[in-house]
Amino acid sequence: MKIGDKVRIIAIPPRLPEGEIRTRSLFEMCIGRIFPIAGFQGNFIELEVGEVLGREACMESIWIEPEHVELVGIDP
């Protein structure tokens, strides 16, 4: 996987920051949706997901492990 490739979120990570109810609901809204990879940090993939909140994609991002996504499109 590389920046620009498209992935579908297939699962919510079991451990999300405690007390962050908004974080869990954001992940739930993203299940089944396809997003381009915006970046990487360690074992995490950055996805810009602002569009699920009716905002520009870059206004909100999540970090997710690769086992919770599936590759659906490759950027040439």
Q: Residue 60: which residues within 8 A CB-CB, separation 6 or more?
A: 26, 48, 49, 50, 52, 53
Q: Which domain holds residue 17?
A: 6-73
Q: What is the pLDDT along the chain (76 residues), one digit of tens a residue?
A: 899 999 999 998 888 766 656 788 888 899 999 999 999 999 999 999 999 988 998 888 999 999 999 999 776 6
> Residue 75 has what pLDDT?
64
Indicate whether 42 belongs to any domain: yes
Q: Are 12 and 27 in contact (CB under 8 A)?
A: yes
- Lookup: tokens for 38: 């915006």
Task: Quote the number of domains for the chain.
Answer: 1
> Residue 18 has what pLDDT?
61
> What is the pTM assigned to this prediction?
0.85
> Residue 26 has what pLDDT?
87
> Residue 17 has what pLDDT?
66
Indicate whether 35 belongs to any domain: yes
